[in-house]
Amino acid sequence: MFYGFDRYYFILVVPALIIAGWAQMKVSTTFSTYSRMPVGNRMTGADAARFILDMNGLTNVRVERIAGKLTDNYNPTDRVVRLSDSVYGSATIAAVGVAAHECGHAVQHATGYAPLKLRTAIIPATQIGSTLAVPMIFLGILMSSDPLVNIGILLFSLMTVFQLVTLPVEFNASARAVATLSGHGMVNAEEERGVKKVLSAAALTYVAALLVSAMQLLRLVLIAGRRNDR
């Protein structure tokens, strides 16, 4: 079974899903902890974002509030940094760290950071892969067509490639955030340690997402290999 419960699912996918669940809890608890710790300069997430953007000459990038928790993002099409309710108006270590991270993406976009350009370029192919991969695999099974199954697996692999390319993009944005906050005196040494913990916890979710995708891909490859051996 490709999308049922087989031994490869329990051996490969289930452990990856457990790690992903732990990573989500880790980022949630870490964010909550440092959301209760104020920054000494009383700068809110929105204030920090505006300062960092202006400092990098990105005065045309807007900072807006978005509903939800940890829904923060940078939209390169609209050129807007969107900060969640728990970040936008909060003067905490977590809020400033997350805001600086999203501004890191805006700076990446403005400077033509190569991994970000690559990730943006493969998004259309990834969307096609996420839509067609599973139907193609099932169609291949129904028609006993190994080429169709292999095409489906290839399409699925595009999602794994996307997750892989995402890692340097996110790590670099976090590194830029820490360097900017500490380099311009926006946080002190103790607050910087808190920012690093928040962003490191967030980075774990991207590593976990890659692991889940890679294990799913490996599972599909192994199952297809067993079918070919019959």
Q: Indicate which residues carry an active-site annotation.
A: 102
Q: What angle do CA 74, 80, 84 make, to 5 degrees?
A: 65
User: What's the length of the chain?
Assistant: 230
Strands (E), 11-72: 62-66
C-alpha pair distances (Å), 16 with each of 28, 146, 164, 187, 205 = 18, 27, 15, 35, 11
Cβ atoms of 83 and 99 within 8 Å: the answer is yes
Q: Which residue has tokens 């697996």? A: 153
Q: Quick one: angle between helices 93-111 and 45-55, nearest 10?
A: 30
